[in-house]
Structure 1
């Protein structure tokens, strides 16, 4: 069985419950679902575009703990509080990824006082 290793960084929001920011197993890295809180201030932007950018910066911080980037992403799962925000979300999301884009699932979800949450699976390089 492949062991698992928890990752932690102060540069992303801290878990609000009994879970890890990310787990590495073999050459795969799995993140928790990250919200748009700024890790330094705890503040949350108002627009879905700015929230998306902060979520992805939070995920970048976790990836950096293992020398990975968003270019290593294989799959993302996105939860939007309102699917009517898809166009603004998608424009901000596109700023962070290049082709070939990771596969993505986007769903409407009931979120607690945020507009977007994203988790990611990445493959670590040798």
Structure 2
């Protein structure tokens, strides 16, 4: 009898725990929360544990307008990453400290254009990443990105290979 692998299931549970479908940025744990609007979403936008910062999935909504940053994948990718950056800054980290992202694309055909926008943010220190196509995202978004980062106070060197 074949033994069932629980590793994949545990990974999916972990991803589900940290991936949120968000329309607005919410209050996060961290240093400067004043730049992040409060929310009544049923999950945390940012969770800090020790030296790690977990940012729930962000879509391309501009927090200043409450509207999607654009209808194209490049605009939504840039905004989703900007939203992640705001949460990381509030939690005492930054984009150069990101160690892992997961990208959810509504259309895998947007992969190349998403990569072009993504590379402009992660120029040299590129985190590990998984990219998957999904059947749909909240609010008609084309992309959602979550992130795991190390706090600025962590003095260990990040190795990117």
Q: TM-score, normalised by structure 2?
A: 0.69
Equivalence for 1:38 = 62
Which has the larger share of strand? 1
The one of 7, 13, 24 equivalent to 2:48 is 24
Give the secondary structure class of the aligned counterpart of 1:75.
Answer: strand
8 Å contact from structure 2 (residues 48, 91) kept in 1 = no
RMSD: 1.8
User: Please, which runs of 5 or more residues in structure 2 have no aligned partner?
Assistant: 1-27, 154-161
The reply on whether 1:121 has 2:143 as its aligned counterpart is no
**1:16: Cα distance to partner?**
6.4
Give the secondary structure class of the aligned counterpart of 1:31.
Answer: strand
8 Å contact from structure 2 (residues 94, 152) kept in 1 = no
Distance 1:90 1:16, change over 3 A: farther
Which has the larger share of helix? 2
8 Å contact from structure 1 (residues 11, 62) kept in 2 = no
CA distance in 1, matches of 2:34, 2:143: 21
Q: Which has the larger radius of gyration?
A: 2
8 Å contact from structure 1 (residues 77, 105) kept in 2 = yes
**1:125: Cα distance to partner?**
2.6
Distance 1:13 1:35, change over 3 A: farther
| Stretches of 4+ aligned residues off by more than 2 angstroms | 8-17
User: Please, which runs of 5 or more residues in structure 1 have no aligned partner?
Assistant: 1-5
